[in-house]
């Protein structure tokens, strides 16, 4: 149980982050939400999650591409809850283009949000975790942290980097009660992927359903999407005592993607 502990899940107003936050809340953790969206909807999400699981929630709107805003987020977490016990680095974006056409500002944004933000949250969370000798750092990487695809150079570079950073963090904390691991999802039907489904449906003049099938057929042998709840289940396992010696792994949950 995570009762009395606090989890910060970056990018938790949508998709996988929200799924993981709900699973941690179900274990009793207080949740600090972060991410973009309509403030009224986010307030409603906060209230509903608090009521459903009998926990405390808070929200901070830090833009994870900006170091100063991440510092403000971490200060807010300490003021509000004392410390971050479970840090889930999940915020991420995607952009699809050939390298020679890749907009430089998209490259910079993907590296900042998908990789560098985890360095900032981790460096700011570690002192308190070390003082308490307990912590869980979970980096949401991707199957693209383990293998590549064409047209996703920035994303693949950032996610491979995040897997490497996970291992370094695990080594620096190896003799403490803090663990750091990565989760590597395959296709999950979130807004991030729906955009790629829409692009494909438009490009190939096929239906939404056909575009989803085509996307899965290319990479994911199960032919089924992974769900945010399934990923949340893995995050809960990483937080459990059974996972005390699981350190520095990059665990794919991908319908067989990287087994090929």
Using CB under 6 A as the criterion, which residues of the chain lie in contact with ligand NAD when the complex forms?
A: 11-17, 34-37, 63-65, 90-93, 113-114, 140, 142, 185, 187-188, 190-193
Nearer to ligand NAD, 30 or 117 (CB): 117
Q: How far apart are CA 77 and CA 32, in angstroms?
A: 7
Q: Report CA-CA distances (Å) from 226 to 58, 70, 202, 215.
A: 28, 29, 24, 13
Question: Could you tell me if 251 and 234 are in contact, meaning their C-beta atoms sit under 8 angstroms apart?
Answer: yes
Catalytic residue among 155, 187, 225, 238: 155
Question: Could you tell me if 34 and 69 are in contact, meaning their C-beta atoms sit under 8 angstroms apart?
Answer: no
Q: How far is the CB of 69 from ligand NAD (least distance, A)?
A: 8
Nearer to ligand NAD, 93 or 132 (CB): 93
What number of other Cβ atoms are within 10 A of residue 54's Cβ? 9
Order of all β-strands in the sheet with 86-89: 57-60, 30-34, 6-9, 86-89, 135-140, 178-185, 250-253
Question: Could you tell me if 179 and 170 are in contact, meaning their C-beta atoms sit under 8 angstroms apart?
Answer: yes
DSSP type of residue 4: T
Q: How far is the CB of 62 from ligand NAD (least distance, A)?
A: 6
The reply to whether 155 belongs to the active site is yes
3-class DSSP state for residue 1? coil
Q: How far is the CB of 33 from ligand NAD (least distance, A)?
A: 9
Nearer to ligand NAD, 241 or 259 (CB): 259
Give, in degrees to the nearest 5, the angle at Cα 138 between 133 and 141: 155
Exposure b/e, 162-198, CB count within 10 A at least 16 = b: bbebbbebbeebeeeebbbbbbbbbbbbbeebeebbe
Q: How far is the CB of 174 from ligand NAD (least distance, A)?
A: 25
Q: How far is the CB of 212 from ligand NAD (least distance, A)?
A: 12
Nearer to ligand NAD, 111 or 206 (CB): 111
Nearer to ligand NAD, 176 or 194 (CB): 194
Which residues are part of the catalytic machinery?
155
């Amino acid at each position: 149980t995570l009762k009395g502990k606090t989890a910060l899940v970056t990018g938790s107003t949508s998709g996988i982050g929200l799924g993981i936050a709900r699973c941690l809340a179900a274990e009793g953790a207080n949740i600090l939400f972060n991410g973009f969206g309509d403030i009224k909807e986010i307030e409603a999400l906060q209230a509903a999650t608090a009521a459903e699981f009998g926990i405390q929630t808070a929200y901070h709107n830090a833009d994870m591409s900006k170091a100063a805003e991440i510092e403000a987020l971490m200060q807010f977490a300490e003021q509000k809850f004392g410390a971050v016990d479970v840090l889930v680095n999940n915020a991420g974006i995607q952009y699809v283009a050939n390298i020679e056409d890749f907009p430089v500002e998209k490259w910079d944004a993907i590296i900042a949000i998908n990789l560098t933000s985890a360095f900032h949250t981790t460096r700011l969370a570690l002192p308190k975790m070390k003082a308490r000798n307990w912590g869980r750092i979970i980096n949401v990487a991707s199957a693209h942290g383990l293998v590549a695809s064409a047209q996703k150079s920035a994303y693949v570079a950032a996610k491979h980097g995040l897997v490497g950073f996970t291992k370094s963090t695990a080594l620096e904390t190896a003799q403490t009660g803090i663990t750091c691991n990565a989760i590597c999802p395959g296709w999950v039907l979130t807004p991030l992927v729906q955009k790629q489904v829409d692009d494909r449906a438009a490009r190939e003049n096929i239906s939404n359903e056909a575009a989803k099938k085509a996307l899965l057929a290319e990479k994911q042998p199960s032919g089924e999407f992974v769900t945010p709840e399934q990923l949340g289940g893995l995050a809960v396992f990483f937080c459990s005592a059974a996972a005390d010696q699981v350190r520095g792994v990059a665990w794919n949950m991908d319908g067989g993607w990287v087994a090929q």
